[in-house]
Structure 1
Amino acid sequence: MNKANNRAEKSGAVDMARIEVIAPNLKKRLSGVTSTIVQLVPVQARDLGIAVFGPGLPDSLPTMRWWQLPSLLRRPASRRPRIWHARRNIEMVAGLVLRHVFRAPLRLVFTSAAQRDHRPFTKWLIRRMDGVIATSRLSGGFLEVPHKVVMHGVDLEKFHPARTADDAFSAAGLPGQRAIGCFGRVRHSKGTDLFVDAMIALLPDHPQWTAVITGRVTSEHKGFADELKQRIAAAGLSDRILFLGEVPDVAVWYRRVTLYVAPSRNEGFGLTPLEAMASRTAVVASDAGSYSEIVTPGSTGVVVQAGDGNALREAIRPYLGDPALAEAHGAAGSEDVARRFRLEDEAAGICEVYERVWAGRG
């Protein structure tokens, strides 16, 4: 055991005797699930022995290495069975293999963010979990097993209202006096085209505003992005509707924009409105994912039907004409997030599920 501990210390791995929960991330490409794990695990680790496992995660997180997998065949020092907290099908499959093939003493928990009826295989996997979490009331409505709704929280240390001169839009060196933003991967499902069309229609009447789009354009969606840029150029707005690509720190951009737009056609949960609201920024969002459970119409922003470009445009219009309205809704959003969507509250809700599973009441 001492040799194993020494090896763990040298490699930066965790002491498995102290780890009671594993949060696997068995997908290399960055996704919303990855982002959730990265933000949540450090908070959980304050009160719980937890480690991540898998590729694509920062070294700052407590990590179980591949060579430590045999440790799962033994219970931790607490003698409680470890919890394997899956968030994807592949992770549920891995947990079942570890438990039933390798006889690892594991309890399995699954978090579902899907806003649709699950496929038969996924339903089969879910029925074999010891505990199930839904990230919203809507996603919980598609589950056929007992579950607990635990909505995602947001890191209020990372996402916060403007504090310094660098947080002002003027620090970006871009044209205009105010900005409206749309962040995330550039693709049809995210509704980037709906945002661009709204900006082409609205910005000519509001010369003080600039639109900024951040996020990755993958090779399969390059044609989509190029077509949007051609539309913008044809409208003579290439200097006012800007594609910034992947930015080093998207958090500062939430503080620089006066209005944030989340025009997704479909989502799992969707963290960006929370991140904007935490940054004291008003939000116009579609009703995809959990947006309608996050944004309070008339108080912190507006919610429109997903895919309805006309409704999106008209929801944005009043904010461009009345920046004070955006500022008021941004202030209300910041208060609402601090009250309802703290990351610590999410961690506490998940811990309740763990305790029920350990008590045999999953």
Structure 2
Amino acid sequence: MSHKVMHICLSRGWGGLEMYPSRIIPELKRQGWEPHGLALADSRVAASLEEAGVSPLVVSTPSRALLAVARILAYLKSHDIRVLHCHKSGDLRLGALLATLRPGLRLFYTDHMGVTRPKKDPYHRWAYGRVTRLFAISDATRQRNLAAFPLPAARIRRLYLGIDPAAYAPRLSREACEALRRELGTPEGAVAIGLPGRFTPGKGQAVWIEALSRLAESRPDLCWHGVLIGGLTAGEGSNEAYVAALRERVAALGLESRLTFTGFRRDLPRLFEALDVVCVPSRNEAFGLTVIEAMAAGKAVVGADSGAIPELIDAGTGRLAAPEAPAAWAEAMAELIVDADLRRRLGESARRRIRRDFTLAAHVTALTEEYGG
């Protein structure tokens, strides 16, 4: 068969869903597939595809994509593309229409978000009826998918996301790492505790800040510094009003000298080198890509005991805390702050787990086996 696939992502946002196509493109190419893309003109998705070496077909809006269906079909035919992969539920309208007009197209959909409401009305029965395979990115999301989508269980497959562990291997010299820690505002001898992620209420930054306040009050003997990593503007995918509220709360709690907002960073693997503990307090994570990235970097991780995160972390690789319980987060962080040997053991076990279960190569191998039927 033709080893070609078009990834469709008609979004102007910028999060894990939008990053996914460009993230897997190098591995798709390495495994002998020719990737193509369909994106919105002047979007971050389109730019990321270009950076990955793919010149995407572009449309101005999702509705314009439906009007451009003849042009898209002609593109698929001229490039002999027989596999489509959608990443937003709204894009399935286009994917299903293309599969209807060109029988023989194989249509795949990844539910990156974790559906929360039933989709079994006539429209969704038609659209999902054209899907060859739906990928759930965790057991937690697969259970939701089974309840929500008009598909038999055999057509819904759990396929964990993966990363390239080599990208998270230590590279910085001691001097460079110390310089980066200073840049992040971490005092000498302090334990650096980081929280990477988009600034939205569901990511749990507010609970984490309350936990740091409790930690400061209950254990004034501990030396630590908090690092919030993520874009601070709407253009970077964050909720600006939420960012402002967080800054106000930090000031009210007197934590300004103990907490750094880094802004958007492209060097997350290197930032992990400068951190000692990574926290992911997301309330209902569909997977937890940040969790496995931190684990690959050999860091002790505290994750929320909700959503898919408990599938990634156990007592041998990290700690879990209730997502709405600042006291539990303060306790988990205190345990790791005082015990450097525990942090090291958890980090080493976490790194081994990633190499065993969550590599990008294994993810793409499973994906292309499905593409090929």
Q: Same fold (TM over 0.5)?
A: yes
Deviations 1:249-288 (A, max 9, x none): 2221112111000001122322101110111111000034
Corresponding residue for residue 225 of structure 2: 210
Q: Which amino acid aligns with 1:209?
A: W
Corresponding residue for residue 211 of structure 2: 198
Deviations 1:119-169 (A, max 9, x none): 325853333311222111111112332222210001223222354336625
Query: Mapping of 1:89-128 within 5 angstroms?
Result: 89-100=89-100, 102-103=101-102, 105-120=104-119, 124=125, 125-128=127-130
Q: Which amino acid aligns with 1:63?
A: S
1:27 alignment partner, SS class: coil
| Alpha-carbon spacing, 1:228–1:76, altered in 2? closer, same or farther (3 Å) | closer
Corresponding residue for residue 60 of structure 1: 51
For 1:252 and 1:350, how far apart are their aligned partners in 2?
Answer: 29
Corresponding residue for residue 74 of structure 1: 77
| Alpha-carbon spacing, 1:169–1:188, altered in 2? closer, same or farther (3 Å) | farther
For 1:305 and 1:195, how far apart are their aligned partners in 2?
Answer: 11
Shift of 1:184: 0.9
Corresponding residue for residue 16 of structure 2: 32
Corresponding residue for residue 270 of structure 2: 252
Query: Mapping of 1:292-331 within 5 angstroms?
Result: 292-296=310-314, 298-331=315-348
For 1:330 and 1:224, how far apart are their aligned partners in 2?
Answer: 31
Deviations 1:18-52 (A, max 9, x none): 76211112102212112222211210122212222
| Alpha-carbon spacing, 1:118–1:45, altered in 2? closer, same or farther (3 Å) | farther
| Alpha-carbon spacing, 1:169–1:192, altered in 2? closer, same or farther (3 Å) | farther
Assess if the C-alpha contact under 8 Å between 1:39 and 1:155 holds in 2.
no
1:302 alignment partner, SS class: strand
Corresponding residue for residue 4 of structure 1: none
Between 1:255-264 and 1:145-154, the stretch displaced more is 145-154
For 1:95 and 1:21, how far apart are their aligned partners in 2?
Answer: 13
For 1:157 and 1:32, how far apart are their aligned partners in 2?
Answer: 20
Residue segments in structure 2 that go unaligned for 5+ positions in a row = 60-70, 147-151
1:143 equivalent among 142, 145, 153: 145
2:249 equivalent among 225, 231, 237: 231
Residue segments in structure 1 that go unaligned for 5+ positions in a row = 1-16, 357-362
Residue 175 (str. 1) matches residue 190 (str. 2)? no
For 1:287 and 1:23, how far apart are their aligned partners in 2?
Answer: 32
Deviations 1:25-83 (A, max 9, x none): 21022121122222112101222122222142321322342497343452755xxx611
For 1:108 and 1:187, how far apart are their aligned partners in 2?
Answer: 32
| Alpha-carbon spacing, 1:248–1:112, altered in 2? closer, same or farther (3 Å) | closer
Assess if the C-alpha contact under 8 Å between 1:169 and 1:179 holds in 2.
no
Shift of 1:104: 6.5
1:213 alignment partner, SS class: strand
The alignment-based identity, stated in percent, is 23
Assess if the C-alpha contact under 8 Å between 2:137 and 2:159 holds in 1.
yes
| Alpha-carbon spacing, 1:88–1:320, altered in 2? closer, same or farther (3 Å) | same
Corresponding residue for residue 278 of structure 1: 296
For 2:226 and 2:76, how far apart are their aligned partners in 1?
Answer: 53
The RMSD of aligned alpha carbons is 2.5
TM-score by length of 1: 0.84
For 1:328 and 1:186, how far apart are their aligned partners in 2?
Answer: 30
Assess if the C-alpha contact under 8 Å between 2:114 and 2:145 holds in 1.
no
Higher helix share: 2
2:365 equivalent among 319, 330, 348: 348
Assess if the C-alpha contact under 8 Å between 1:113 and 1:136 holds in 2.
no
For 2:88 and 2:292, how far apart are their aligned partners in 1?
Answer: 22
TM-score by length of 2: 0.82
Deviations 1:159-184 (A, max 9, x none): 22354336625433223233000011
Corresponding residue for residue 45 of structure 1: 29
| Alpha-carbon spacing, 1:327–1:203, altered in 2? closer, same or farther (3 Å) | farther
For 2:77 and 2:336, how far apart are their aligned partners in 1?
Answer: 58
1:186 alignment partner, SS class: coil
| Alpha-carbon spacing, 1:206–1:346, altered in 2? closer, same or farther (3 Å) | farther
Corresponding residue for residue 163 of structure 2: 154
| Alpha-carbon spacing, 1:175–1:258, altered in 2? closer, same or farther (3 Å) | closer
Assess if the C-alpha contact under 8 Å between 2:222 and 2:337 holds in 1.
no
Q: Which amino acid aligns with 2:26?
A: P
Q: Which amino acid aligns with 2:135?
A: I
For 1:260 and 1:303, how far apart are their aligned partners in 2?
Answer: 12
For 1:206 and 1:226, how far apart are their aligned partners in 2?
Answer: 30
2:133 equivalent among 128, 131, 134: 131
| Alpha-carbon spacing, 1:143–1:127, altered in 2? closer, same or farther (3 Å) | farther
Shift of 1:209: 1.3
